[in-house]
Amino acid sequence: MTVWRDVIGQEAAVATLENAVRNPAAMTHAWLFTGPPGSGRSVAARAFAAALLCPDGGCGTCRECRTALEATHADVDVVATEGLSIKVEQARDLVQLAARRPSVGRYRVIVVEDADRLTERAADALLKALEEPTPRTVWMLCAPSVEDVIITIRSRSRHVRLRTPSVEAVADLLTRRDGIDPSMALYAARAAQQHVGLARRLARDEHARIRRHDVITMATRITGVGEAIGAAQDIMTIASEESAASSSERDAAEKARLMEVLGADPSARTQPPHIRSQVSSLEKEQKARATRFTRDVVDRALLDLLSVYRDALVVRTGAGTALVNEDSRQVVQRVADVLEAEALLGAMDAIGTARERIGANVAPLLALEAMALDLRLPR
């Protein structure tokens, strides 16, 4: 049992971090964890935090280890943004926090889960703290790749690169940690393309499996303009439903809590101005969160769809590689039967373009419609 038990398939990264725990000369005050979404960047950062705070260098069982892993340790702060960006005000708060000595442990650790979402001004604010580090404060920044983080921050941090773990490693984690049946774990790990969090959700949530199936079968259903427009709309509907399902309860609870704090009467028809303005700023925040969530769901749906064409290419070229959609071989086979390799590559390009456009703030429905029109099967 060690603190690294859930950091799967990352031997090289773990070796680097363990060395930094044991050897002061290998330690530094700013770390940049990169790796594809779902590879466990924040899991690795928390494990590192625990190892730094544990009297035994990361036993995995003591109080320091357990609270650091859960991010409830007094000297560990994990910042995860739910909006589209981390704003300068939030960065300034972090800089202030970083200047404080650790309260109980050897280090104060600040994990920024989405360092790629720092606005330029927020990054500038953080930079000062990285340039003039407070002794015993350790920054752990997480991002998909080094290119996603501004260069001045990058150059002041030590880089730890995480790889995509293997299907077997993810399945094994789901079975061991979450008690998921091994064959379900294997399906989910494969279908989620080794994204640990998504795999767990697929394994546990039948609706998520149904939604995923709806998306991958689109590849065989888009035969004309009408079907293309319909498919684009379907992806948006799936995404908004998922977003609404995950946020409505929480939004309402947040609003109720705010009203309570402000001493407002929730049954009153109109609220005094100071309450109205607080409520409206909360609603704005919730809307930004929903927008990001919907966009993330659309992106995942596009990755699912992409996997069908990639699988079809594998089938067509006769490469023996395992399919992502092993469970839906008929769908893959049908696509491989009607589209030649070049058309499959064209479809993958169309999906890649849509992802880029949505990432660059094009209205998702427009980008999806243009993509779906390119995915029409020959009659």
Q: Which residue ranges make up the site for Zn ion (CB under 5 A)? A: 54, 59, 62, 65
Closest distance between Zn ion and the C-beta of residue 48, in Å? Answer: 13
**Whose Cβ is closer to Zn ion: residue 67's or residue 325's?**
67
Residue in the block written with tokens 């001004």: 121
Q: Among all residues, whose Cβ is closest to Zn ion?
A: 54
**Whose Cβ is closer to Zn ion: residue 14's or residue 351's?**
14
Closest distance between Zn ion and the C-beta of residue 5, in Å? Answer: 12
CA 221 to CA 231: how far, in whole Å?
8
Q: 352-370: string of b/e by CB count within 10 Å (b at 16+)? A: eebbebbeeeeebeebbbb
**Whose Cβ is closer to Zn ion: residue 59's or residue 84's?**
59
Angle at 164 between CA 112 and CA 351, to 5 degrees: 90
Closest distance between Zn ion and the C-beta of residue 39, in Å? Answer: 24
Closest distance between Zn ion and the C-beta of residue 79, in Å? Answer: 23
CA 4 to CA 51: how far, in whole Å?
9
CA 55 to CA 64: how far, in whole Å?
8
Q: What is the 3-state secondary structure (H, E, C) of 52-85?
A: HHCCCCCCCCCHHHHHHHHCCCCCEEEECCCCCC
**Whose Cβ is closer to Zn ion: residue 54's or residue 358's?**
54
One DSSP character per residue, 273-297 reads: HHHHHHHHHHHHHHHHHHHHHHHHH
**Whose Cβ is closer to Zn ion: residue 59's or residue 184's?**
59
Closest distance between Zn ion and the C-beta of residue 51, in Å? Answer: 8
Q: What is the largest CA-CA distance in the chain?
A: 69
Closest distance between Zn ion and the C-beta of residue 218, in Å? Answer: 48
**Whose Cβ is closer to Zn ion: residue 49's or residue 350's?**
49
**Whose Cβ is closer to Zn ion: residue 59's or residue 264's?**
59
Closest distance between Zn ion and the C-beta of residue 142, in Å? Answer: 22
CA 300 to CA 308: how far, in whole Å?
13
